[in-house]
Structure 1
Amino acid sequence: MKYLKLTAVAGVVSLALVGCGGDSSSPAATTPVTLSVTDAPVDEVKEVVVTFGTVALLPQDGGSPLIYDVYLTDDEGNPVDENGDPIPDGEDPVPLSINLLDYQGSKVMPLIKDEVVTVGNYKLCVFANDGDHPTHPSYVIEDDDTERELSVKGNGACPQGVGKIDNTGVLYFNDSVAVNPQNNDFAVEFDLRRGLKNTSTFPDYSIQRTSVTLINTAVTGNIKGTVATATFNACNDPADANVAQAVYLYETGTTQENMAPIGGTDTVKPLTSANVSYNETQQFYEFSFGFLDPGNYNLGYTCTAQHDDGEEGSDPVAAGFNIFSIQPNVSVVGDQNTSVEF
């Protein structure tokens, strides 16, 4: 088995794995592989921190798996600890811990970068530490500052002989991705509103494997939106301190009365959702959706997202959820930003 070490840079928003390869007659292939977060965090927690230590690329055209260590470095690529101090010689580097809530919309955090790979088809394994990891666990910080353990519900083991790592879940993506001579940009996205589950037993929280997807961002587009102050004031009840603003994304043609939350048994479900936050610098409310397939979508704005428990199939839907305003037929174009205002 061939082992290649690769570093991650803490605090960088859009670096990635860049590779080139193939035989001498093939053009160089650049393949950015990035880790990103979808626009669907849950409302009742402050942080969702996942610790990553290993990524494996599995060649489907022959050859040994490429296994990369993921850890904190400084700007020059030197291993550092959580305080940014150099790691002494002989000591293990620090795995990369990411608060997923810091990377919403089209923001991304790299796991690996600047690595040479051969043009071809690959599958992917991403290893995420469980909440019972002895040194670098994943965890959730609730609104009352309680820290609870977090586990990513992976598929048990990475195939092609890579295997398992103790106290670590494996996110295995069975669909192959093509590393082409042209530019490629891949991202692992977590839909937290749909996939983050709160349990009463270990691990206190879990992220369901079915809520994590691998996408090629080179062919996707983004939506950048704002909510007017008048819309915000008309929707929100000043006496209710628990309001949660969000924008839900639906397939085109979905009417306002049929726009259901993620939770419940309604058949018209959103594709994803985005929290609405206040931009202190610009003094307006904003939201964003990243990495959407080109096409048309309907958007629904709500200030009652706190009633959406995210439990698909739960019955009945919590009373109080409703879509206040919609924007129909919003067009998304690959590698472009689409602007929307409520």
Structure 2
Amino acid sequence: MNIKTTLLSSVILVALTACGGSDNNDSPTPPQSAKFSLGVSDAPVSGLQEVNVVFNSITLKQANGADNITFETRKADDETKPEMVNLLDYTGDDIFSLLDDEDVPAGEYSWLRADIINGDENDLTMTSHVVYEDGSIAPLVVKRKGNDGIGEIQLDGFTLNQTDNDFVLEFDLKKSLVDPQSSNEIFLKPRGVRLENLAESEDIEGTVSDALIANCETDNIALAAEDGSFGHAVYLYSSDIAEPLDNYEVTENETPVDAPLATADVVFDSDDNQYEFELAFITPGDYQLAYTCAAHIDDAEQRDEAFTLYQVKPVTVTAGDDLDVTFTISQ
């Protein structure tokens, strides 16, 4: 046996192994991938036939400083045109899909931004707009804009896991739609939009008794609209708020802690012959849920001193289960 040859071969083998190990250590670890889907839904508002929002693109900002990820949102039957969605067609837990199973890196994200093509009086059919019950049309405008004039709805902080990630943009139109009176435009405010993970949210559904509705209207007759009607709705609040109030704002992008987290209209279901409501995409936790017949006087920007909640009750949303709540006359 040639000991010198054997030793030399061993030295060469160790050296080659060391070089290979160094290359492997220097190679960057590829990011784990995730699937990302995004839909839109809304909690409706009275007085409108349509709320048409034109989505131009969706951008995701990675928390690690990597390049932003942008997806253009285009109509399925015409990829040259941005996607227009009538939010009133997708209420409660109904969802319109904007993005479906897109491949993105897993991990933390700083924000998601929806770029909206603002309403233009010269081209209302192709830009964001609302249609009133009398058929008249007004431009719908997001006041926060980029340098290109495109409206921006930016929502902070979320995580994408190494699996399917289904999210929804929930538009609470009672909180987000503002008629400035001094303009022929309707403003869409981002503070009325929530980004929710479907895997981490549940629905609150329920009924309001005829008797409770009648009592509320009788006790608040001074608040009736000119035609004698009332605005029936439920409002969701944090559990620790001592005095829940109506919708109002302190700053353009801030929702006060004592204002509702979410709202939903109470509507009459002729099939079930009862008044019903649904709050969709609610994160599990403790809350207060309130019924009011004064939603019609609730201005999204200003405190309404006459606004009143008729019945308030504590509720708990549990992961994996929708919650059923009944508002009725106390026994």
TM class, shorter-chain normalised?
Answer: 0.7 to 0.9
Instruction: Give, as a single letter, the amino acid of the residue that structure 2 aligns with 1:71.
Output: R
Matched, 1:273 2:263: yes
Matched, 1:69 2:61: no
Q: Which one of the candidate residues 304, 307, 310 is aligned to 1:324?
A: 310
Matched, 1:180 2:180: no
Matched, 1:97 2:84: yes
Q: Which one of the candidate residues 185, 194, 202 is aligned to 1:204?
A: 185
Q: CA deviation at 1:253?
A: 5.0
Identity of aligned residues (%): 31
Distance 1:207 1:334 in 2: 31
Spell out structure 1 runs of 4+ moving beyond 4 A.
23-26, 237-240, 263-267
Instruction: Give, as a single letter, the amino acid of the residue that structure 1 aligns with 2:47.
Output: E
Q: CA deviation at 1:114?
A: 2.8
Instruction: Give, as a single letter, the amino acid of the residue that structure 2 aligns with 1:29.
Output: A
Q: CA deviation at 1:178?
A: 2.1
Q: Which one of the candidate residues 144, 168, 185 is aligned to 1:154?
A: 144
Distance 1:60 1:254 in 2: 32
Structure 1: runs of 5+ lacking an equivalent:
1-22, 74-78, 80-86, 158-163
- In the other structure, the counterpart of 1:45 is 48
- CA offset digits 1:160-206 (Å, max 9, x no partner): xxxx4xx5212233x34222113422222223212211124556111
SS in 1 for 2:127: coil
- Measured at CA, do residues 93 and 202 of structure 1 come closer, stay the same or move farther in structure 2, by a change above 3 Å? farther
Distance 2:309 2:157 in 1: 38
Structure 2: runs of 5+ lacking an equivalent:
1-28, 251-255
- In the other structure, the counterpart of 1:143 is 133
Matched, 1:338 2:323: yes
1:301-316 correspondence to structure 2 within 5 Å: 301-312=291-302, 314=303
SS in 2 for 1:34: strand
- In the other structure, the counterpart of 2:116 is 128
Matched, 1:106 2:93: yes
What root-mean-square deviation, in Å, do the aligned CA atoms of Structure 1 and Structure 2 show? Answer: 3.1
8 Å contact kept, 2:108–2:160: yes
Q: CA deviation at 1:141?
A: 1.8
Matched, 1:296 2:301: no
8 Å contact kept, 2:35–2:102: no
Q: CA deviation at 1:254?
A: 4.8
- Residue correspondences, number: 286
Distance 1:264 1:112 in 2: 31
- In the other structure, the counterpart of 1:170 is 152
8 Å contact kept, 2:145–2:151: yes
Structure having the larger proportion of residues in strand: 2
Structure having the larger proportion of residues in helix: 2
Distance 1:200 1:248 in 2: 25
Distance 2:249 2:145 in 1: 27
Distance 1:263 1:60 in 2: 31
Q: Which has the larger radius of gyration?
A: 2
Distance 1:153 1:275 in 2: 26
Distance 1:262 1:206 in 2: 15
SS in 2 for 1:234: helix
8 Å contact kept, 2:35–2:101: no
Q: CA deviation at 1:296?
A: 1.5
Q: CA deviation at 1:63?
A: 4.9
Instruction: Give, as a single letter, the amino acid of the residue that structure 2 aligns with 1:322.
Output: T
8 Å contact kept, 1:155–1:172: no
